[in-house]
Amino acid sequence: MKPFPPYRIQVVKEIPITTRQQREDALARASYNMFDLPSNMVTIDLLTDSGTGAVSAAQEAAAAQADRSYAGSDSYYRFRAVLDEVTSYPHVFPVHQGRAAERVLFSSVLKAGQLSLSNTHFDTTRANVELLGAEARDLPCAEFWNLDSTEPFKGNVDLAALEDTLRSEGERVGQVLITITNNGGGGQPVSMANLRAVRALCDRYGVPFFLDAARFAENAWMVVQREAGYGHLTPREVARQAFALADGCVASLKKDGIAPMGAVIGLRDPEVAKRCEVNLIATEGFRTYGGLAAHDLERVARGVEEVLDPNYLRSREADAAYFAELVNRAGVDIVRPAGMHALYLNAGRLLQHIPPHGFPGHALASELYLAGGVRCVELGSLYLGTFDEDHNLVTPAPFELVRVAIPRRTYTQAHLEYVADVLADVAKNPTRVASYRVVDAPPVLRHFNLTLERIPPRP
Ligand code: F0G
């Protein structure tokens, strides 16, 4: 039987329906930057799965019971009880979002000149490493580089490269951080075997091992489905085993916490926890709220329980697989196999008339917006390439992708069918898609603030 969502919809929000002319005007006003589009000009918003999931009646009921005491609130203890049980870390701090968790943890464990090793650092994660004067180095596994390979765990870190680096760099390595699932790498999961091997290497070389566990439940679900020896476990059991392998975690709970706001730092080492706590109190908030309003602590606590429901995860996986099938039928390749939180479209392959310096990923994302009011974002040379001072592309990214994120519990299969129809229309005449030129871009976190110019295709 086809999986279905284990909930019904009780509260809905109207979405804007716009004309092509209105979208042309809006995108030009936004200087062709998706992050500058007002949401009231977006019909289907697939920019991110972060903070965009629908909350449940139970989350809102819990939020209404929130206790706003500055210290030791009931809401904090409910948050603790859930996070203690799932992560098993003796030290657990709430934080307002994932990047705050990164800043607080990294500044307690990394020194300038040190190395952070990862399967792939997410962009804010990399920025927080680099802001400390440390280096973020990605060591994805070999299968990661083949977009068409259907290997089940393309999110894995390259263990041989990790060991080589640990051996050759010695004390320069300040941490190993494994991102589950690998958002920067096609939303692919990391296997338990890989996590166990990372644990063994970190023990051998005396380096702390942390998880960036923003999508811990989806990673656990894909382990249950794909990894031999895990099929009989619940996603909760697998998630607990994953957390147990690491020395701690940072986790944005705007994803698998299905909350509008919130994150957590979990730690085993009491000394690191002490340093984090001082930093947290000085910059985020007291240790029992960490910059979160009490109602958000409640939503997160409840969300972490709901996200581990196998019926929910099964239906979410089925949605992503169905969407992937529609996109393939529309004639567009994705990074295979489909993960759960997003599809990554192979724009470089679809728009072969646009060279990397014309930004095929951005061109496809822009066309999806212009053609159907669908917002998503490029993951290609605009995001990962290197540029000279005049904003010319110097080194292209290895791939030209578009990430089409799937917010949790938010859109129905009819919405996904609409997006696939829009994509099919674009894919019918790819040579009509315009390329882009960068007009202005900041040196860090470029894609949030850049401005672009459209270069219409030759007739
Ligand atoms: N780590 C990963 C793997 C993420 O995907 C994100 C955010 C963060 C850390 C930072 O968390 O947003 O709560 O500060 N990812 C969002 C996205 C923004 O669209 O993928 P945050």
End-to-end CA distance of the chain: 49
Q: Is the pLDDT at 291 greater than 90, yes or no?
A: yes
Rounded mean pLDDT of 304-308?
Answer: 98
**Fold equal for 20-49+309-455 and 57-307:** no
Q: Which of 123, 158, 247, 319 is catalytic?
A: 123
pLDDT digits (tens, 9 = 90+) for 261-284: 999 999 999 999 999 999 999 999
255 part of the active site: yes
CA-CA distance, 21 to 285, in Å (whole number)? 46
Nearest to 118 by CA among 173, 193, 77: 173
Domain boundaries 57-307, corresponding CATH code:
3.40.640.10
Active-site residue, 212 included: yes
Assess whether pLDDT exceeds 90 at residue 139.
Answer: yes
**pLDDT at position 187:** 95
68-91 mean pLDDT? 97
295 CA → ligand 1 middle, Å? 21
Task: Name which residue leads in pLDDT, 73 or 456.
Answer: 73
Catalytic, out of 255, 295, 341, 362: 255
User: Which residue among 34, 95, 106, 124 has the greatest number of ligand 1 atoms within 8 angstroms of its CB, and so is best to mutate?
Assistant: 124
Mutational pocket test of ligand 1: of 102, 255, 376, 447, the residue with most ligand atoms within 8 Å of the beta carbon? 255
When pLDDT is cut at 50, 70 and 90, the band that residue 77 belongs to is: very high
Is 70 considered catalytic here? yes
pLDDT confidence of 445, banded at 50, 70, 90? confident
Residues in contact with ligand 1 (CB, 6 Å cut-off): 48, 50, 97-99, 122, 124-125, 179, 183, 212, 214, 252, 254, 263
CATH no. of 20-49+309-455 = 3.90.1150.10
Cα–ligand 1 centroid distance for 105 (angstroms): 15
Burial tier of 160 (Cβ tally within 10 Å: 0-12, 13-18, 19+):
exposed
Residue in 200, 112, 113, 128 with CA at minimum distance from that of residue 157: 200
For the chain, the structural domain boundaries read: 20-49+309-455, 57-307
Residue-wise pLDDT for 324-343, tens only, equals 999 999 999 999 999 999 99
Beta strands in 22-159 (DSSP E): 44-45, 91-95, 115-118, 135-138
Report how far ligand 1's centroid is from the alpha carbon of 50 (Å): 7
Give me the percent of the chain exceeding a pLDDT of 90: 96
Q: What is the pLDDT of residues 397-409, one digit of tens each?
A: 999 999 999 999 9
- pLDDT(288) > 90: yes
| 459: pLDDT strictly greater than 80 | no
The mean pLDDT of 149-169, rounded to a whole number, is 98
At residue 1, the pLDDT reads 86
Q: Which of 49, 138, 158, 212 is catalytic?
A: 212
Nearest CA to ligand 1 atom 16: 50
For the stretch 362-372, pLDDT in tens is: 999 999 999 99
